[in-house]
């Protein structure tokens, strides 16, 4: 007893795909829905979370950049730039989109950097 007759299933599929002129459009729509929910929507959510994170930053927060640099925020400028203190004498100007995450307060003091 064959519960899964492969030849029968393939004949149903081939009849459906060749006789229906809208099959290709239907498959494109299904593909777009799958890509939207698996790629586009999670990426948009991640971008929104990062924007909210950037808005909540304050002067004195210690942050980690995408490049691996750790520093303390000295000044937040209005044009999406931040002045970052790396050690007692070095200040750098960074774009706020290069911030990866917060590091715990006191990280720079524990490592005798500042």
Is the pLDDT score of 97 beyond 70? yes
Is the pLDDT score of 1 beyond 60? no
Write down the pTM of the prediction.
0.67
- List of domains in the chain: 6-54 (no CATH), 59-110 (2.30.30)
pLDDT band at 111 (very low <50, low <70, confident <90, very high): low
Q: Give the strands of the sheet with 70-76, arranged side by side.
A: 91-95, 81-85, 70-76, 62-65, 99-102
Q: Which helix (H) or strand (E) holds 84?
A: strand 81-85
């Amino acid at each position: 007893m064959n519960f899964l007759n492969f030849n029968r299933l393939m004949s149903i599929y081939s009849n459906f795909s060749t006789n229906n002129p809208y099959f290709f459009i239907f498959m494109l729509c299904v593909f777009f829905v799958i890509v939207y929910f698996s790629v586009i929507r999670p990426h948009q959510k991640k971008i929104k979370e990062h924007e909210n994170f950037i808005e909540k930053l304050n002067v004195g927060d210690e942050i980690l950049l995408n490049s691996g640099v750790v520093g303390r925020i000295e000044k937040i400028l209005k044009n999406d730039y931040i002045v970052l203190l790396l050690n007692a004498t070095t200040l750098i100007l960074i774009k706020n989109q290069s911030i990866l995450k917060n590091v715990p307060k006191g990280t720079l003091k524990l490592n005798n950097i500042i």
